[in-house]
Amino acid sequence: MKIKEIVSYIEEIAPISYQESYDNSGLQIGKMDTEVDSALLTVDITEEVIDEAILKNIKLIISHHPLIFGGVKRINGANFVERIIIKAIKNDIGIYSAHTNIDNVENGINAKICEKLELQNCKILVPRDNELLKLVTFVPISHLEMVKEAIFNTGAGHIGKYDCCSFSAEGTGTFRAQNDANPFVGKIGEIHHEKESKLETIIPRFLKNKVINALLKVHPYEEVAYDIFPLENKLSDVGAGMIGELKEPIEEIKFFNHLKKTFNLSIIRHTELSGKKIKKIAVCGGSGSSFLKNAIAAKADIFITGDFKYHQFFDAEGKIIIADVGHYESEQFSVELFNDILKKNIPNFALYLSEIKTNPINYY
Ligand SMILES: [Zn+2]
């Protein structure tokens, strides 16, 4: 199976365009057309992980954290990134990473954390804006359904739990074909009036080219009139963190024990307990401290993430409990998530969960 096909199942859920601007998700080493028969899944890529791939003869590593992040200026083996690059290329091993793109989607890392904590009514904590576009086009009435079907099939018109969303109204379009035109209706040199539908729908920005191509392919006119407008609506299924609720409120210590057990933690760094029960829970895999204000605004009882700094703990101000479970610990289930996605789509493809614990932080 080609790497391209394998990663397409991940990108179906987590389009690369949803990654943060500082990120470097995607295929880092190798070619999309390379055939592989297995993949090794890991949170991080360390030298032990690449050795594991070599030992098991696995030609594709899928990681959450990108190997190449801040740029590489030379590859002479001076540090672990350079040594891994050399080993990967020498051994024909491809390296693919899905990082903030899989952090930022409804069925990504944070949904996995919510699932592990058995939360309900989960939604994105900080929905992202500037991701939606409005598409308006004008279609002869006879072709309206055909055009709608084509653009819906490429993902246009998706709002929350509904798809095929659009609005159309009838009106009259006018045009005059020039000498070298080949009009679908009307005569050269004469102004033509045609009964048309004005069709409106929305598209996520990353699907723009795909939807426009589909529109141009099925629309009968030689020159298709269409408008694309940026929208300020928030996209409810894309953004940072998630918030959900426990079935029943439970005591703080009881919840901490549940958290410790579920995430296999030896320690939780947390702010002062309030003595109140926990019901509403905000989570953010990785370094989520910048979303503390969103968790407070959403009235979460507790915010679970990693990488909180000393002074940031003060910002809880008694309004929320901060529970820092560790960066690696919060994202350890990314491996299980990759496994779930790929197993579902390509059940016969061999997937290996790395046996290396890549967390660089140890607790004594
Ligand atoms: Zn991370």
**Residue ranges of domains in the chain:** 3-98+333-353, 109-126+239-325, 131-231
- On the question of pLDDT at 11 being above 90, the answer is yes
* The CATH number of the domain covering residues in 109-126+239-325: 3.40.1390.30
Q: What is the DSSP string of 110-137?
A: HHHHHHHTT-EEEEEEEEEES-EEEEEE
Q: How far is the CA of 271 from the centre of ligand 1 (A)?
A: 22
For 311, list phi and psi in degrees, rounded to 5. -65, -25
Q: How far is the CA of 95 from the centre of ligand 1 (A)?
A: 17
Provide the mean pLDDT of the chain: 95
Stretch 12-39: mean pLDDT, rounded?
93
Q: In terms of pLDDT, which residue wins out, 18 or 48?
A: 48
- What pLDDT was estimated at residue 236? 77
Check whether domain 3-98+333-353 has CATH 3.30.70.20, yes or no: no
Domains 109-126+239-325 and 131-231 agree in fold: no
Report the number of secondary-structure helices (H) and strands (E) in the chain: 12, 15
Stretch 279-296: mean pLDDT, rounded?
98
Q: How far is the CA of 287 from the centre of ligand 1 (A)?
A: 7
Q: How far is the CA of 333 from the centre of ligand 1 (A)?
A: 11
On whether the CB atoms of residues 155 and 204 are closer than 8 A, the answer is yes
90-112 burial, b at 16+ Cβ within 10 Å, e below that, comes to eeebbbbbbbbbbbbbbbbbbbb
Q: How far is the CA of 102 from the centre of ligand 1 (A)?
A: 11
- On the question of pLDDT at 90 being above 90, the answer is yes
- On the question of pLDDT at 158 being above 90, the answer is no
CA dihedral 280, 286, 289, 293 (to 10 degrees): -40
CATH architecture of the domain 131-231 equals 2-Layer Sandwich (3.30)
Q: How far is the CA of 70 from the centre of ligand 1 (A)?
A: 15
On whether the CB atoms of residues 205 and 131 are closer than 8 A, the answer is yes
Closest C-alpha among 73, 24, 22, 14 to residue 45: 24
Stretch 144-169: mean pLDDT, rounded?
92
Q: How far is the CA of 361 from the centre of ligand 1 (A)?
A: 13
Q: How far is the CA of 306 from the centre of ligand 1 (A)?
A: 9
Q: How far is the CA of 93 from the centre of ligand 1 (A)?
A: 23
Q: What angle do CA 362, 70, 331 make, to 5 degrees?
A: 40
**Residue 266: other Cβ atoms inside 10 A:** 10
- What pLDDT was estimated at residue 131? 82
Handedness of CA 147, 150, 156, 159 (dihedral sign): positive
Give the Cα separation of 255 and 277 in Å (integer). Answer: 9
Which residue type sits at 207? L
Q: How far is the CA of 157 from the centre of ligand 1 (A)?
A: 32
Instruction: Give the chain's radius of gyration (CA, Å).
Output: 25
| pLDDT tens, position by position, 208-230 | 999 999 999 999 999 999 999 99
Give the Cα separation of 223 and 333 in Å (integer). Answer: 49
- What pLDDT was estimated at residue 117? 97
Q: How far is the CA of 364 from the centre of ligand 1 (A)?
A: 22
Stretch 193-197: mean pLDDT, rounded?
96
Which residue type sits at 78? A
